[in-house]
Amino acid sequence: MQPTLNEDLAARFADIALGHVTREYPNKPDHVLAGPQDARTPSELHPVFYGSYDWHSCVHSHWMLAYLLRRFPGIAPAARIEQLFDEHYVPAKIAAECAYLAQPTARGFKRPYGWGWLLKLASELAQHSDARWSNAMAPLAETFAQRYRDFLPLATYPVRVGTHFNTAFGLRMAADYAQATSDTALAELLLSTASRWYGDDTDCPAWGEPSGDDFQSSALIEAECMRRLLPPDEFVSWLDRFLPRIASREPATLFRPASVSDRTDGKIAHLDGLNLSRAWCWRSIASSLPEGNARRIAALQAADEHLALGLPHVAGDYMGEHWLASFAVLALEA
């Protein structure tokens, strides 16, 4: 039986996130100092997203909390989540986050990983029945949406690594925002960019996977990006060309979960995330294929195998605990 997200697990994940989204230290800022005046604490730089070790992890932990609150409104931590959002999603704090981005030194801040996650958070808030949090987040979301509009026409080449710089991940997450806000122009830009970058890719060998600090599969997140953006029939045809031997579990490296030797090492701990993000991608890919299809069966088996190794390590050492639950939710809910 495939593992699923239930209320007890959702409460556990929410408790984990609530334990670190306002934990300011340790902290790894992605910050350029233009002068001594820029030497400031994380909460001074980012009054909303200062916790969770780094800005992007704080953002996607907020996404997870928002998602779990909507999915399971009766969970025990619900009141604490609401209080967190009420305290953080206020005009002055959102304006400070926008002001940070307006600095010339912040042009590439968190591109594209943090961009995608912020828009994913905004798309989730837009689905809540009470619009107060979504309305508060709107100026920051629009700032990042505009960054996509400005950047993608300049981006001649994709970035295919298995870490934060992967461009397929950024497109895939931004697609949810474009849909939630009915921004058809942005959706068309995302699709045309994905087609330009990935449309002609065939027979992916995945020979470089996994690298020693991957938390994404460059092959599978590309496939998930195309699944999200292409019409269903076009995606299946593209997948036939891109990964033609899924039914025989090839390339074998995509079906073999990663081994994690040291979870106290932040880079090596990324590999737990790789197992979870691969499970998310495999499940999503399977959803596009017919019931009983050999490729669907192989994809779901691979997802289960990766989940079995990733889920037990969502909590433990802080190097994984500050971010892994978000990817577990993606995988469980795919």
| pLDDT tens for the chain, residues 1 to 334 | 677 899 999 999 999 999 999 999 999 999 999 999 999 999 999 999 999 999 999 999 999 999 999 999 999 999 999 999 999 999 999 999 999 999 999 999 999 999 999 999 999 999 999 999 999 999 999 999 999 999 999 999 999 999 999 999 999 999 999 999 999 999 999 999 999 999 999 999 999 999 999 999 999 999 999 999 999 999 999 999 999 999 999 999 999 999 999 999 999 999 999 999 999 999 999 999 999 999 999 999 999 999 999 999 999 999 999 999 999 999 999 9
What pLDDT, on a 0 to 100 scale, did the predictor assign at position 3?
Answer: 78
Cα-based distances in Å from 113 to 30, 165, 214, 263, 266: 12, 6, 14, 22, 17
- Are the C-beta atoms of residues 224 and 218 closer than 8 Å to each other? no
C-alpha 275/C-alpha 278 separation (Å) is: 5
What pLDDT, on a 0 to 100 scale, did the predictor assign at position 1?
Answer: 63
- Are the C-beta atoms of residues 177 and 125 closer than 8 Å to each other? no
DSSP-derived secondary structure for 170-231:
HHHHHHHHHHHTT-HHHHHHHHHHHHHHHTT--S---TT-S-TT-SS-HHHHHHHHHHHHS-
What pLDDT, on a 0 to 100 scale, did the predictor assign at position 124?
Answer: 98
Give the closest residue to 224 by CA, choosing from 116, 72, 115, 70.
116
Burial letters for 138-163: b for 16+ Cβ neighbours within 10 Å, e otherwise? bebbbbbbebbeebbeebeebbbebb
This prediction's pTM: 0.98
**Look-up: residue for tokens 């100026």?**
139
What pLDDT, on a 0 to 100 scale, did the predictor assign at position 240?
Answer: 98
Per-residue tokens: 253? 């490296």
